Structure 1
């Protein structure tokens, strides 16, 4: 996967827009970060992943999921796009989108699905 692939997935959802965060491309929902490309150009910074879930992901799929000391105390996981598939990334994106989007947008999206 690439960040362009991630963009194509997420920009189909209501209230998602292009942006930047820490000087890298990002996708935002109502001005809040959905996801951003890490400075290495291959990893996503994925918020909304609690520590216990992150630990399980890193342990079960270490080539795709990881975190650095910088993110240790935050509910985030890093996802290597080059080692991931849409089937791996999209559910995390969608779940986090649901927490950021308005209730109306989520309801409309669900009614069309």
Structure 2
């Protein structure tokens, strides 16, 4: 009998997950190949890729291309993702400030206008 061992370490997604779950309307989930993920209203925001080497983060094509150009050492785009609105971040090369920035943009692309407005009002009061 063959046992299934994941090719990834869920701990590599922990910081990303904590930041992503700080936004309204987000929920922890499980995606492709049983990998940990975060969704916004049922739509995939980010997940740990089943290889364990990177994290696809949903981002529109224009923003994706800007980050690929400005931070090629942190982000990449495998052939499989070229036709999809995702930016792929290497698991061990992000900094928290940049990660928060990218996840905020990702969340804004998936959240309701009401949630975005409430979040902005709360953030401005801090």
Aligned to 1:24: 35
Residue number among 64, 77, 81 corresponding to 2:74 in the alignment: 64
Would you tell me which structure has more strand in proportion to its own residues? 1
Higher radius of gyration, 1 or 2: 2
- 1:1-113 alignment runs, 5 A limit: 2-22=12-32, 23-50=34-61, 53-113=63-123
What is the TM-score normalised by the length of structure 1?
Answer: 0.86
If asked which structure has higher relative contact order (CA below 8 Å, sep 6+), I would say 1
| Per-residue deviation, 1:53 | 4.3
CA shift in 2, pair 1:102/1:54, >3 Å:
closer
Number of residue pairs the alignment of both structures matches: 112
Could you list the structure 1 runs, at least 4 aligned residues long, displaced by more than 2 angstroms after superposition: 52-63
- RMSD, aligned α-carbons: 1.9
Give structure 1 stretches of 5+ with no counterpart. none
Give structure 2 stretches of 5+ with no counterpart. 1-10
